Structure formats: structure tokens, C-alpha cells
A and B are shown apart, each in its own frame.
Chain A
Amino acid sequence: MSEQTILVVDDDPALAEMIGIVLAGEGYELEYCADGADALDRFHEVRPDLVLLDLMLPGKDGIQICTEIRAESGVPIIMLTAKGDPTDIVLGLESGADDYVVKPFNPKELVARVRTRLRPQHAADTGTMRVADLEIDVDGHRVSRGGEPIALTPLEFELLVTLASKPNQVFSREMLLEQVWGYHYKADTRLVNVHVQRLRSKVERDVDNPVVVTTVRGVGYRAGAPQG
């Protein structure tokens, strides 16, 4: 596999360089951007495999950059947030970030988050699957309804495939955190909640009455039974 490129969008040069040192040590290619206003241009220029995005930036707000990147690409985005304020994290996740690390983080944490998002996904599952009225082409990373393709980010795709791979099992939020996000002890269920909502908004015909990803009250989520 060729070297994967990571774009670090952070206005603090020392931190950006330090992140670079850590990730370069893991074999990743690094690109930098220190100004929010230039972030999207740099993104087009670099075509990174993953974006590390600071939420507080001069020029343009990290949340807005996240929304703009998400509008044109499903590339994994990991937020770097300094605020412990929960609403900021939810805002970032809702604007499309796949995951987040709270400053101050340690190198292992950062590397683990990056690795999870860049790992080759679902080598075990192949072929096609059906959930409700959706067809999932696991190898081709494609989801469609009646031949109409539905664009999902890699994370959303993985979430859907994880649920669909065991249609009879109810996945607790903790199980999904472990399998999709690679967390073991940290149980930030907001990650799951927000991304299930984002996934539903793309694959459900009626978001208020979901049939693809159904909620099992008090337990978690499961994939809807195949239809048609």
C-alpha cells in the first residue's frame, strides 16, 4: 500500500509539527495548513486520505470547514478540539467529523484514532448484503436503493455494514464504538448517536420512522430485515 497522506489543519505551528513528527514516525505522509481560509484549497491540492482538523482556527471556523469538506468528500475527518465543552464535540460530529481527540492527547491515542480511520475495512465481509430495501456491495463500497446509488462516507458505510453483517444481533452503542471506532473503554455514545442520525438521514425514506437502522430502546441498534 502506498503512503497515506494526512492533512493537518492547525494554526499552532509547534503542535502541527509535533503531530507531524508523531505521525511520520508511523509512516504517514504529512501536509499542513495553518489558516482556516486556505483549508479547502489545500484540501483540493493535497487530496489527503485523512484530515486532522482543529476546531478553533483563524480565518474560518473548523466546523464550517468540516461542513464544506463533507459536502464534496467522504474523506475521514478527525477533529482536534481543545474545549471540553460537550456541545462543541456534538457540533463537530454533526458537521460531519468522524471522530475527535481532545487536547491534550497523547501520541498513542492520536495514532490509534488515525489508524482506525485509515485501516482497510471489512476484509472478512465480501459480496453483497441486503438491509431493508437497500443493496450493499461490500467489495465495491457501494450502497444503492433500487439501482439508485446512495453516497455514504467510509465511516457511515462501515457502520451500516457492521450492523448488516449480523442482522439478528442488536448492537449496543459500546459494541459499535469498539467495532467501528476502535474504542475499548471510552464510551462516548454521542459518537454513535450522531453518526446513526447522519446515516439515517441518507438511507432512510422517513427519518422519523427508520427501517434500515432501527433503535432497540435501552439496548442499541440493529439492521432492518431485508425487504423485496
Chain B
Amino acid sequence: MILSTLALVGVFGYMSASVGQNLFETRRDDALIEAVQASNAMQQIFDEAVTQNLTSGEVDALQDSALAAISGIISSRATTEYAMLRTDGQSETLLQMNDVQSQAFDTDLLTRDLRTAVADASETPFYQSVRIETASGDQPGLIVGTAVEVPLTGQYELYLMTSLQSTQETLDFMQLTMVLGGLALIALIGMITWMVARLIVGPVQTAADSSARIAAGELDVRIPVHGDDELAKLGRSFNDMADSISRQINELATLSTVQQRFVSDVSHELRTPLTTIRLAGDVLHDRRAGFDPVTGRTVELLYTQIQRFEQLLADLLELSRFDAGAAQLEIEPTNLVRLAEREIEAVEPLAAEHGTQLRLVAPGGHFEAEVDPRRIRRILQNLLGNAIDHGEGRPVVVTVDSSTDAAAIAVRDHGVGMTEEEAQRVFDRFWRADPSRQRRTGGSGLGLSISRDDAALHGGWIDVWSMPGQGTQFRLTLPRAGAHAVASPIELAPDDTQPLALPVAMPREGEGRPEERGSDEATLVDPSVSTTTEEVDR
């Protein structure tokens, strides 16, 4: 719209200017020709009539008749004024004619340049654009000057002044017509644009709105289709696509429901007999003192393996719940320091068995965090169990800290540690650090995998630092309510280890992870390793 207006203004402006120029040139050429004709006629009259014996009076009469003759030549007498002026600077001659001029001719309009030019070049006409003051206002005009040589009297300059008012009026009218026409054209273009927009952009807009609504989950949105044009075709294929998508989503939803029900059913069906076995095993285990040694040992094996089986089943079911997307947070205000204290207390007997000393360092985290305490507790139990299991009886340090946008719990052991390859696989399902190592606390090999999912469910993550011979630190970072945590309040690499381990970002499956503080040290070569879990969208 704006563009077409600009183009129109440009074209019309150019047209107006060139037409004006053209009109002016035509009129000027006419005026020049007339002036030459007039001057020739006058010259002829003077050449024939002026002789030695003329009196001044006769010369004046002759001048009058010459001027009258000019009038005959000039086409537009009414608008043409004349002046006949003696060229300045000539020596006195015998005969002289007075300067004559018609009433409306204002000699002040003549410029010195014009007069000089006319006087110097006797044959060629010269012109000058002027603005004629009349009663009805200024009018554009043209003065054409030629030189006339009057025998015995000297050189005179003949000036003809033509008003260009009629030409100007023609030009004005034409410009007005063009402006009006242009406005009409712009209005027309606007209307056409608007109609095109309604016809084409409208349906496209509808399609865009519909796809946005479908993307937002309104799967039953369809585009109304009229006619048989390209737009209708677009609408139909869009609707087909939407149908297909909603069909597939429904199928998946059904599958997911079936899967969840299956998990639930398996859970029930497996757990009931397992409960009976567990009860039976426990009753036998309690009475094993009365059995002979072989039976007693058998009962012990039965007892421990039932526990292991139970743990495995529980972990598997938990993972399948995550996989089905059925896991849900039950947020409660929870003091993470108190939670850590309780969990440390709970594993105290196990730690005592290993001769492990448990320590809690809590510079932060003394507030009610909005977390699911059951899941956080489960993560901590798992990390503590691992730390005690792999800590070689050396102290295990639990750190709780918080920043404005995150809270973190880290569990550090000073045990055997892991190599880079091992640390990278530590969150894999059923992966074990060293298959040849004797399992002491058992465990399903699914614990860290579940912990990672639990952390991701909170929008947080778990990462690990480990170095062979130096130990391992797992760090759980949870964003605080409403915050988007990018940095953990706890350094991944423990302070007590030199050289410092580097929190090199090693996203699994190519996913990004939040930048660690101090990642500018990442160029140092270091045998330690750090892996991380990605945040999983659910």
C-alpha cells in the first residue's frame, strides 16, 4: 500500500514535471519564433523606410507602424506586451527614436544580463523567465529580446513579454487531474489489497491459528473448507493431517494406559505371592536358631535373596512408572538438612558395620524446600548406601547447601573411586562399578537410574565427580520453587582433593547441561572425570 502510493507519487511527479517542462519549451519556442519574425518584420520596415531625409516625427511614426506590424505577427496579442529600447552606450546619432513600451511592460523586469546578451548578438533571440505582477496576482511570463538595427538611428532592442498564465492554468489543471486520479488509484489499490488479504491471508491466518491450537492440545480443531481452490486444498490436507495426528495420539494414549494398567496389574500379581513368600521366609528366619546348620544356612540364603528379589521388583516397577510417564511429584515443604540428618541416622547401623564415619556439613539448606520428600529420601538412601559400600571404611561427608535459586545435597566418599569410563556409565541401568567386587549391600543396579529420574522429575539433576584412589562425590541439585537453576550451590569437585577435579560437561546423548562454576579451568589436564545426567522432560 505504502509502496504503491510512493510509486504513484513518483510517477505522477515525474510526469507532471516533464509535461510542465514540455509545455514551457513549446511556448518558449513559439515565443522565440514570433520574436524573430517580429524583429525581422520590423527590421524590414525600418530598412525600407528610413532614409537620410526623414524627420524625427516621421521616424516616430515609422516606429509606431513597425510596432503595429509586430502586433499583426504576434498570435496572442492580448497577453503580449512589448518594449522597444535603445541599446545603451551608443554614440549620438542624427535621428533618434524614443524608448517605447506598452503600458503593462515593466522594464525593471529586464535583467542586465539579458540586455547585454541581446545587444551583443544582433540576430539570436534571448529569453528570460519572469514573474509578471498583475492585478490578479503574479503570473509566470517570458520575455524574449531581439536586436533591431535601425538605419541612421542605431541599435534598438525589441522585447516581447508573453504571459504564460494560460499555459500555467493548463498545467495546474493537468496536475490537479493527476493528483485526483492518483488518489483514486491509491484508494483502488487499497481496496484490492484488502480484498486479496481477505481472500488469501484470511484462510492462511485461520490455518495458522488452528495449528497453534492443535499444538496447544486441542486436537479436534479443524479448518472450515469452502470451494475447490488452492486454499481449500490446503485446508483439506491440513484437516487430514490433524485427523491422522489425533488418531495416532489416541492410539498412543491407549497404549500408555494399557501399559500403566499392566504395570499396576503385574505389581499386584507379583507382590501378593511375594508377600506370602516374604512372610514365610521371615517366620523361618526368626526360628533358624532351632534348625540344623544346613537348614539354617538355607533359610538365611532364602531370606536374603527374597529381600534382593523384592528390591529388584520394586525398582523395576518404579522405573516402568517413570518410563510410562506416570511418576508424579508430591510436593511438601521439606527441610533438606533435617531430611539429611534423619537419613544419616537411618544408615548409621550399616555404616557402623563398615566402620564408616558419617559427617554432615550444612552451610545452607536450612529452609523449607518445595520437594517430594519421599523421592529425595530415596535418592539420599541410595547415595549413602553406595558411599558406604564403596567408601572403604573411610569417612563419608554429606554436604547440604543452597543458593537463591537452587538447593543441593552432595555425598562424598573417600573410597576407591572410579575411572572416567566407569563414571560415565554409573547411571546406566543394571551397571555395576566392578562386577568382581563382592556385593555387600546388594542393590538392584537400578538405584542411580531411579535417582536420576527422581531428580529430573524435580527439574533438577544428579552429577558425579570421581577419581581413582580419591573417592567419589555425587551431587544432587534441585531448583528452588519458581527458580530455574543453572548452577549448583555445591562445587562438584570436593575442595580436599588436589589437583582439583574438573567439572567438564559431558552431556549424555548430546544434551546440554547447565554451565558449572569454574568451568574456565576446563583446559587443565586431569585424570579425574565428571559426568552428568541430563534433565529429562516429562
Chain A residues at the B interface, C-beta cutoff of 8 Å: 12, 14-15, 18-19, 21-22, 25, 56, 82-86, 103-108, 110, 185, 187-190, 218
A12 touches B276 (CB 8 A): yes
Contacts of A103 in B (CB 8 A): 271-272, 274-275
If A185-B342, A189-B332 touch, whether A21 touches B268 (CB-CB below 8 Å) is no
Contacts of B377 in A (CB 8 A): 187
Q: Give A218 to B370 CA distance when docked, in angstroms.
A: 11
Name the residue on A nearest B332 (C-beta). A189
Name the residue on B nearest A110 (C-beta). B279
A218 touches B333 (CB 8 A): yes
B282 touches A82 (CB 8 A): no
Q: Give A45 to B361 CA distance when docked, in angstroms.
A: 58
Give the segment of B3-11, B310-318, B404-412, B509-517 that binds chain A.
B310-318
Q: Which 4 A-B pairs have the closest CB atoms?
A: A82-B268, A104-B275, A103-B271, A103-B275
Contacts of B373 in A (CB 8 A): 187, 189
Min Cβ gap B4→A in Å is 64
Q: Give A36 to B211 CA distance when docked, in angstroms.
A: 50
Contacts of A21 in B (CB 8 A): 279, 283
A185 touches B267 (CB 8 A): no
B272 touches A18 (CB 8 A): no
B278 within 8 A of A: yes
B368 within 8 A of A: yes
Contacts of A82 in B (CB 8 A): 267-268, 271-272, 275
Min Cβ gap B482→A in Å is 17
Name the residue on A nearest B306 (C-beta). A104
If A84-B317, A187-B373, A218-B333 touch, whether A106 touches B267 (CB-CB below 8 Å) is no
Contacts of B345 in A (CB 8 A): 185
Name the residue on B nearest A184 (C-beta). B346
- The total number of A-B Cβ pairs within 8 Å is 73
- What are 26 sample pairs from A and B whose C-beta atoms fall under 8 A apart? A15-B273, A18-B276, A18-B279, A18-B280, A19-B279, A82-B267, A82-B268, A82-B275, A83-B267, A83-B268, A84-B267, A85-B321, A85-B326, A86-B328, A103-B274, A103-B275, A104-B271, A104-B274, A104-B277, A105-B278, A105-B279, A110-B279, A187-B342, A188-B374, A189-B373, A190-B330
B244 within 8 A of A: no
Pick the contact of A12: B272, B282, B328, B374 (CB < 8 A): B272
Pick the contact of A104: B278, B283, B342 (CB < 8 A): B278
Q: Give A84 to B264 CA distance when docked, in angstroms.
A: 8
Min Cβ gap B345→A in Å is 8
Contacts of B282 in A (CB 8 A): 106-108
Name B89-144 residues within 8 Å CB distance of A.
Answer: none
Chain A, interface SS category: loop
Q: Give A57 to B12 CA distance when docked, in angstroms.
A: 91
Name B245-295 residues within 8 Å CB distance of A.
Answer: 264, 267-268, 271-280, 282-283, 286
Contacts of B272 in A (CB 8 A): 12, 15, 82, 103
Pick the contact of B314: A84, A185, A187 (CB < 8 A): A84
A22 touches B346 (CB 8 A): no
Chain B, interface SS category: helix
If A82-B268, A104-B271, A185-B342 touch, whether A15 touches B332 (CB-CB below 8 Å) is no
Q: Give A107 to B278 CA distance when docked, in angstroms.
A: 8
B283 touches A107 (CB 8 A): yes
Contacts of B279 in A (CB 8 A): 15, 18-19, 21-22, 105-107, 110
Pick the contact of B276: A14, A86, A110, A185 (CB < 8 A): A14
Name B150-185 residues within 8 Å CB distance of A.
Answer: none
Pick the contact of A105: B275, B286, B321 (CB < 8 A): B275
Q: Known contacts A85-B326, A105-B278; can you find 11 more A-B pairs with CB under 8 A?
A: A15-B272, A18-B279, A82-B267, A85-B264, A103-B275, A104-B310, A107-B283, A108-B282, A110-B279, A185-B342, A218-B368
Q: Give A82 to B346 CA distance when docked, in angstroms.
A: 25
Min Cβ gap B493→A in Å is 32
Name B333-367 residues within 8 Å CB distance of A.
Answer: 333, 342, 345-346
Contacts of A56 in B (CB 8 A): 268
Q: Give A189 to B345 CA distance when docked, in angstroms.
A: 19
Name the residue on A nearest B279 (C-beta). A18
Min Cβ gap B180→A in Å is 74
Q: Give A56 to B283 CA distance when docked, in angstroms.
A: 25
Contacts of B275 in A (CB 8 A): 15, 18, 82, 103-105
Name the residue on A nearest B338 (C-beta). A174
Contacts of A106 in B (CB 8 A): 278-279, 282
Q: Give A190 to B332 CA distance when docked, in angstroms.
A: 10
Contacts of B283 in A (CB 8 A): 21-22, 25, 107
Min Cβ gap A175→B in Å is 12
Contacts of A22 in B (CB 8 A): 279, 283
Q: Give A200 to B537 CA distance when docked, in angstroms.
A: 39
Contacts of B330 in A (CB 8 A): 86, 190
Contacts of B274 in A (CB 8 A): 103-104
Min Cβ gap B267→A in Å is 6
Contacts of B318 in A (CB 8 A): 84
Min Cβ gap B518→A in Å is 34
Q: Give A14 to B264 CA distance when docked, in angstroms.
A: 21
Q: Give A198 to B351 CA distance when docked, in angstroms.
A: 40
Contacts of A218 in B (CB 8 A): 333, 368
Contacts of A187 in B (CB 8 A): 342, 373, 377
Min Cβ gap B70→A in Å is 113
Min Cβ gap B319→A in Å is 12
Q: Give A103 to B373 CA distance when docked, in angstroms.
A: 21
Question: By CB atoms of chain A within 10 A, which of B272, B282, B286, B368 has the most?
Answer: B272
Contacts of B310 in A (CB 8 A): 104
Min Cβ gap B265→A in Å is 9
Q: Give A188 to B328 CA distance when docked, in angstroms.
A: 16
Name the residue on A nearest B268 (C-beta). A82
Q: Give A14 to B275 CA distance when docked, in angstroms.
A: 10
Contacts of B314 in A (CB 8 A): 84
Contacts of B280 in A (CB 8 A): 18
Contacts of B317 in A (CB 8 A): 84
Q: Give A21 to B267 CA distance when docked, in angstroms.
A: 24
Name the residue on A nearest B374 (C-beta). A188
Min Cβ gap B33→A in Å is 106
Contacts of A14 in B (CB 8 A): 273, 276
Q: Give A83 to B317 CA distance when docked, in angstroms.
A: 10
Min Cβ gap B277→A in Å is 8
Contacts of A104 in B (CB 8 A): 271, 274-275, 277-278, 310
Q: Give A189 to B332 CA distance when docked, in angstroms.
A: 9
Q: Give A190 to B267 CA distance when docked, in angstroms.
A: 22
